Amino acid sequence: MLAKRIIPCLDVKDGRVVKGVNFVNLRDAGDPVELAAIYDREGADELVFLDISASVEGRATMVEVVRRTAGEISIPFTVGGGISAPEHMKTILRAGADKIGINTAAVNNPQLILEGARRFGSQCIVVAVDAKYNENWGEWEVYTHGGRKPSGIKALEWVKEAERLGAGEILLTSMDADGTKDGFDIKLTSAVSDLVDIPVIASGGAGKIEHFYDVFTAGKADAGLAATIFHYKEIGIGDLKADLKQKGVEIR
């Protein structure tokens, strides 16, 4: 079994880190390069940068942020947001990112997963899935455009298809749990983890150290991702890892 990973997530807008609840009400949380360096020192296993202002101007800003970050940290980091072509992937990877996160563009053009995996390797392609429970279906629906647009696609079918096309990892965000601090969506995470053979990064809802234990055991996730609790020092990465090790979770 792979050792579990702890991954802080930095939502970057116009070159600054921001954080909200249920994808809205954003507030400033600091400089991305400074935060990345702090997380590296504190023992984070990886980082995820999501460019949430990914216009053309936003992408240019993000390339510079990626370049500066790569010079400050030694852990792998994933960059996503507005990446819709292999050439965009190449630009971000050349700037120093280790992996590319794709979400809306992959839903709109699933062949992008295949093309990215062929050109850069499956290990570089992280398919991000924003999922929300659909009462009418009795299962989860994929949302795109930063969680604003329902796609009509069933999340469990989509993760299986993403794996088939060559995704190396699934970054799974529960929109129902996001920012609530009530815990990860265990039902969703375990359903996806049972379905695919590639690693699943659980995102959305972390508020306490116990939530990570739950998502690694009951949720069967390979990594736990969070933002607010790390940015505002509510949980220290060192404390979190020590607690998980004490409880018998194999951690990086």
**pLDDT at position 43, please?**
97
pLDDT above 70 coverage of the chain, percent: 94
Whether the per-residue pLDDT at 24 is higher than 60: the answer is no
**pLDDT at position 55, please?**
55
Closest CA to 131 of 121, 139, 142: 142
3-state secondary structure of 118: helix
CATH code for 5-246?
Answer: 3.20.20.70
Mean pLDDT, residues 237-243 taken together: 97
Closest CA to 131 of 59, 195, 218: 195
* pLDDT tens per residue, range 55-82: 555 667 789 999 999 999 999 999 998 8
| CA torsion through residues 149, 105, 135, 137, sign | positive
Mean pLDDT, residues 211-239 taken together: 95
**pLDDT at position 248, please?**
96
Instruction: Assign 53 a pLDDT band (cuts: 50, 70, 90).
Output: confident
The Cα 93–Cα 112 span in angstroms is: 16
**pLDDT at position 111, please?**
98
* pLDDT tens per residue, range 176-223: 999 889 999 999 999 999 999 999 999 999 999 999 999 999 999 999
Whether the per-residue pLDDT at 234 is higher than 90: the answer is yes
Which residues contact residue 45 at a Cβ distance below 8 angstroms, ignoring those fewer than 6 apart?
A: 5, 6, 7, 75, 223, 252
Residue numbers annotated as active site:
11, 130
Whether the per-residue pLDDT at 20 is higher than 70: the answer is no
Whether the per-residue pLDDT at 150 is higher than 80: the answer is yes
Domain coordinates in residue numbering, the chain: 5-246
